[in-house]
Amino acid sequence: MTEAAAPCILVFDSGVGGLSVARCIHETLPGAELVYLADNAGFPYGDQPEAVVIERCTTLIRKALEEIPCDVVVVACNTASTVVLPRLRSLIDVPVVGVVPAIKPAASRTANRRIGVLATPATVRRPYLDRLIDEFAGDCQVVRIGHPALVCWAEQLVRGIPVPEAELREVLAPLKQAGVDTVVLGCTHYPLLLDALKTVLPEIRHWVDSGDAIARRVQFLLGEASRDPQAITHAKRSEPVRAVLLSGEVPHGLAGFMAALGLTAIRIEERWGGLTDPVRVTGSA
C-alpha cells in the first residue's frame, strides 16, 4: 500500500483544542493524513450565538472539503457539535463524527457518584448536556463549570504562556468543595491543560475526555469504507498533518506546539476561507 492510498481526516475546531483530538487520531491511525481546520477568527465559540457557530463551521468545512477531499470529518469541538451536526450532515456526503462531553464513561468510573464537568459557557447551558446528564448520570451529583478563561489559557500555551495556577485554583474551587472524584473535560481544549489541572486538583481519580473514543469511531468508519487497515495503523507518517487551515492568523509558536504533540504539519495557511471576525453578541450564546 503506498502513501497515496492513505485516508484523509479533516479535524475541525474553533482553535487549537481539536489538536487534543487530532493527537488521539494520529496515535490510533498513524498512517492517516490529517487536515486541521480552525475557525480561530471566530474563537471562542463558547461566547457565540448558535446561528453564528452553525454558519461559520458549515461554511468552512464545506470549503475545506472542496479544496482537499477527505474521508471523514471530525467536529472536534463540543460547543459546535452540540448544535451543528444535523445541519452539517445534511450538507455533506462525508461521514461526520462529533464530540460530546464524556458523561457516560465518567458515570461508569466515579466511585463516590460525584462528577465535575468542565466545558465552555455555551456547552454548560445547552439542553444537550442536561439530556446527557439525565440519561447517564441521573444518580450522580454533577457540578458544572463553564468558565470562559479556560480556553484562552489553553490557546496561550501555544505561545509558551503558562497557565496561571492561582486563577485556575479559584475557577476549580467548586469541584474541590463538592469532593468530586471524576472530572469530564467537556471541551477539547482542556486535555491540553491536563498537567495544570492535575497540579491544582491532585485528588481527582479520573480525568475523562472523548479523544480516544473519537479515534476509535474514525477507525471504524474508515474500516466500513474499506480502507486498508494495515496502511492506516502501521505506516507511520513523519509529517501527519497535510495542511493546517486557519480562518485567522497563525498563533506564534503553533508549528512547534503541534510538533511536540506529534502533529508535524507540512503547511500552515492563515486567513483561509475568507471569513471575517463575527460580530459578538454577548450573553446570547
Give contact residues for ligand DGL (rule: CB under 6 A): 13-15, 17, 43-46, 77-79, 120, 123, 151, 187-189
Cell digits for 198?
A: 492535575
Q: Per the residue annotation, which of 24, 57, 70, 187 is the catalytic one? A: 187
User: CA-CA-CA-CA torsion for 37, 42, 44, 46, nearest 10 degrees?
Assistant: -100
Smallest distance, ligand DGL to C-beta of residue 113, A? 25
Q: Where are the beta strands (DSSP E) in the chain?
A: 8-13, 33-38, 72-75, 96-98, 114-118, 141-145, 182-185, 206-208, 241-246, 268-269
User: Catalytic: 152?
Assistant: no
CB of 6 to ligand DGL, least distance (A): 26
Candidates 57, 70, 77, 140; catalytic one:
77
Cβ at position 17, least distance to ligand DGL in Å: 3
Beta carbon nearer to ligand DGL, 36 or 45:
45
Q: Which one, 44 or 105, has the nearer CB to ligand DGL? A: 44
- Residue 187 falls in the annotated catalytic set: yes
CB of 15 to ligand DGL, least distance (A): 6
Query: Residue 6 or residue 53: which is nearer to ligand DGL going by CB?
Result: 53
| C-beta of 64 vs 187, nearer to ligand DGL | 187
What is d(CA 56, CA 141) in angstroms, rounded to the nearest whole number? 35
CB 47 within 8 A of CB 282: yes
* Contact partners, residue 151, CB within 8 Å, separation at least 6: 15, 17, 43, 44, 46, 120, 187, 189
When the beta carbons of 75 and 115 are compared against ligand DGL, the nearer one is: 75
Distance CA 12, CA 225 (A): 21
- Spatial contact of 270 and 248, defined as CB atoms under 8 Å apart: yes
CA distance 103 to 186: 9
Residues in the chain: 285
Residue 115 backbone dihedrals phi, psi, to 5 degrees: -125, 140
What is the SS3 assignment for 234?
Answer: coil
Which CB, 235 or 275, lies closer to ligand DGL?
Answer: 275
Tell me the backbone φ, ψ of residue 48, rounded to 5 degrees: -100, 150
Which residues are known catalytic residues?
Answer: 77, 187
